[in-house]
Amino acid sequence: MKLLKNKKFWAITLGVTLVGAGVVAVAASCSSSNVKSKLSSQLVKSKDEKSFYAVYDIENFDDLNENDKKALNEAEFNVAITSAENKTENATTKGHLLNKKIYVKLPREPKAKEQLTIINKGGLLKTASLVLPDNLNYQTENIGFETQPGSGSTTQPGSGSTTQPGSGSTTQPGSGSTTQPGSGSTTQPGSGSTTQPGSGSTTQPGSGSTTQPGSGSTTQPGSGSTTQPGSGSTTQPGSGSTTQPGSGSTTQPGSGSTTQPGSGSTTQPGSGSTTQPGSGSTTQPGSGSTTQPGSGSTTQPGSGSTTQPGSGSTTQPGSGSTTQPGSGSTTQPGSGSTTQPGSGSTTQPGSGSTTQPGSGSTTQPGSGSTTQPGSGSTTQPGSGSTTQPGSGSTTQPGSGSTTQPGSGSTTQPGSGSTTQPGR
The pLDDT of residue 173: 60
**Alpha-helix runs per DSSP H in 150-198:** none
- Residue 202: inside a domain: no
Q: Is residue 126 part of a domain?
A: yes
Q: No. of H helices and E strands in the chain? A: 1, 47
Q: Is residue 359 part of a domain?
A: no
Mean pLDDT along residues 160-179: 61
Residue 34 lies in a domain: yes
Give the pLDDT confidence of 231-252 residue by residue, as tens digits: 778 778 777 778 788 777 887 8
**Residue 118: domain span:** 2-141
Q: What is the pLDDT of residues 358-406, one digit of tens each?
A: 888 877 888 888 778 888 887 788 888 878 888 888 888 888 888 888 8
Asked whether residue 227 is domain-assigned, the answer is no
Mean pLDDT for 185-212 is 71
Determine the Cα–Cα distance for residues 307 and 143; give it in Å rounded to an integer: 95
For 156-249, list the strands marked E by DSSP.
162-163, 170-171, 178-179, 186-187, 194-195, 202-203, 210-211, 218-219, 226-227, 234-235, 242-243
Q: Which of the two residues, 310 and 44, has the higher pLDDT score?
A: 44
Confidence (pLDDT) at 75: 93
The domain total for the chain is: 1
Please report which confidence band the pLDDT of residue 6 belongs to, taking 50, 70 and 90 as the band edges.
very low
Rounded to whole angstroms, how far apart are CA atoms 30 and 128? 10
pLDDT above 70 coverage of the chain, percent = 79
Instruction: Tell whether 414 is covered by a domain.
Output: no
Angle CA 208–209–215, to nearest 5: 155
Check which CATH number belongs to the domain holding 96 and give it. Answer: 2.60.40
**Does 174 fall in a domain?**
no
CA 335-336-339 angle, to 5 degrees, is: 110
**Cβ burial, residue 9 (10 Å; 0-12/13-18/19+):** exposed
For residue 88, the model assigns a pLDDT of 93
Q: What is the pLDDT of residues 284-334, one digit of tens each?
A: 887 888 878 878 888 788 788 887 888 888 878 888 888 788 888 887 888
Predicted confidence at residue 159, as pLDDT, reads 56
Residue 272 has pLDDT above 90, yes or no: no
